[in-house]
Amino acid sequence: MSEVLYRLEQSILNEPDSFSMYKDDLLGWIELLKEKQPQLNENQENVLLIMKNIQKRWPHFHPSIVVDELIGLESEYHDALSKTEELQVFKIFMIWALEQEAE
């Protein structure tokens, strides 16, 4: 989601005339959405990177298979995550996977 928010924010800032009437409202909503995005710790970032690399290597895999692949790897990063941290990573990964499908 952060990439989508970044692109939207840049469009608003770089083309102010196109969004003049709604610019402040849109920028406010973007900030709110950024705050709702969980901040990942180092282990979570590593797990997310592994998942993205698996998906890029095998783009025909359904994202849920990538999750299964990661769990099968029993990586030290994954093992260090709490259930909540794991779910946060999966959430961000699924959002990222949806963005890849849209491109």
> pLDDT tens digits for 23-79?
676 667 666 666 666 788 888 888 888 888 888 888 887 777 777 777 666 567 777
> pLDDT tens digits for 24-34?
766 676 666 66
At 20, is the secondary structure helix, strand, or coil? coil
Return the structure tokens found at 57: 């290597």
E strand residue ranges, 1-103: none
The pTM score is 0.59
What is d(CA 71, CA 16) in angstroms, rounded to the nearest whole number? 45
